[in-house]
Amino acid sequence: MVLLYIKNMVCARCIRTVGRLAAEVNLPVTSIQLGEIGLEAMPAPQQLAALRARLEDEGFELLDDRSSRLVAQVKILVIGEIHYMAGRRPATMNFSEFLARETLLEYGQLSRLFSSVEGLTIEKFIIAQKIERAKELLVYDQLTLTEIADQMGYSSPQHLSNQFRQATGQTPSAFKNGHRLHGRKPLDEV
């Protein structure tokens, strides 16, 4: 089996789209999940070029180098845990341990690579993802701030509120009351 890594696959719709694009160029898909597609064999150069072009038309990017693949893997792991509650990270495990375990790299090395490629730290990326998830939960209006803080792994609602204010310039309640004016971002832009 051959794995191809794809940037900006952040949701179930992305998985379906990439699957459809692979079928359009007659690639025998064996598996597909956030950030990667498994194929029976390495595609012919013209198939790979056709897939690359179709992916780019849809806002995705086929990743060729190891650094880009690792950064994409980190993003997918973080997004999976924060937005989709993937459950691969035990509640008692911090993200640095989790990412090191999943990538089989020391966290310091992973952090330096991520920062050099993305221009921000993994910690800031995690916070940005948590804030976007909190925005989503606030808009749904089904959970209290305390429940959202607990679900997101914050030590208290005040901690979430402080980070939310730093990231957005407003309190969670102000966002909730005016969310249509200060909308959310697509996950691939966070």
pLDDT number for residue 103: 95
For position 60, what pLDDT does the model report? 94
Q: Write down the pLDDT at residue 182.
A: 55
Q: What residues are paired with 39 via a beta bridge?
A: 2, 29
User: What was the pLDDT predicted at 180?
Assistant: 52
CA 44 to chain centre: 29
What are the extents of the domains in the chain? Answer: 2-63, 66-120, 124-189
CATH fold match for the domains 2-63 and 124-189? no
How far does Cα 58 stand from its chain's mean position? 17
| 116, two tokens | 């050099």
124-189: in CATH 3.40.50.300:
no
Question: One digit per residue, pLDDT tens: the chain, 190 residues?
Answer: 889 999 998 888 999 999 999 999 999 999 999 889 999 999 999 999 999 999 999 999 998 888 988 999 999 999 999 998 878 898 889 999 999 999 999 999 999 999 999 999 999 999 999 999 999 999 888 999 999 999 998 999 999 999 999 999 999 999 988 865 556 666 666 6
Residues contacting residue 75 through CB under 8 Å, at least 6 positions apart:
10, 35, 125
pLDDT at res. 179:
64
Phi-psi category of residue 32: left, alpha or beta, with phi > 0 → left and psi -120 to 50 → alpha: beta
State the CATH class of domain 2-63.
alpha beta
